[in-house]
Every structure is written in C-alpha cells, then in structure tokens.
Amino acid sequence: VRRPPDDTSKVFFGASVELEGEDGKSVTYRLLGADEIDPKTSTISIDSPMGRALLGKRVDSEFTLNTPSGTSHYLIVAIDYQTSCE
C-alpha cells in the first residue's frame, strides 16, 4: 500500500499531475516506476524526460520540455495523490 508523501504540494512518485500545454489543452499523467507503466493509460515513468521534468515541481510551476520533435511549454494545474495512492 502506497502512502502519499509528507509534502503533497510537490510532484513525487505516485502523483497524478494535470498539465496545461501551450495550446490550452489539459492532460493528466500519473508518475510510476518504469515496470508499472501501461501504454493504454496515462501513466509515465518517473525516469522519462517528462517524469524527470515534473519531479519536485508545485502547482502553478511552468516548465519547458525539449524533445526530438521540438520544445513544449507546460503549466502544472493540479497535483493529486488521493486517486493515485489507493
């Protein structure tokens, strides 16, 4: 059974994170270990570029992610541990 971290205002393992892209669209990812991700769900590895960029960030944090297809800008809208740590 996973417990939420002591500081739930930051993104850590097990968090569900709602992001807003520069196009205004929202997407939610859940950060898990590489052996727990499922391509059919919105789970990403904490070791992925997006996962590493999210770790330790707070709501209203903005960040840039550089990928082979270009640069993307995101805003963290919400962090949730209740639905992701049951």
Model pLDDT, residue 67: 86
Question: Which residue, 65, 69, 76, 86, is CA-closest to 20?
Answer: 76
| Tokens matching residue 20 | 């807003």
The pLDDT of residue 85: 43
Q: What is the pLDDT of residue 58?
A: 98
Helices and strands in the chain: count of H runs, count of E runs? 1, 5
Q: Domain range holding 39?
A: 16-80
Residue 86 within any structural domain of the chain: no
Assess if residue 6 is contained within a domain: no
**Does residue 11 form part of some domain?**
no
pLDDT at 83: 57
Give the pLDDT score at 15. 96
Q: What is the CATH number of the domain that holds 51?
A: 3.10.50.30
Low-confidence spans in the chain with pLDDT less than 70: 1-2, 83-86
Total domains in the chain come to 1
58, part of any domain: yes
Q: Count the neighbouring beta carbons within 10 Å of the beta carbon of residue 4.
A: 14
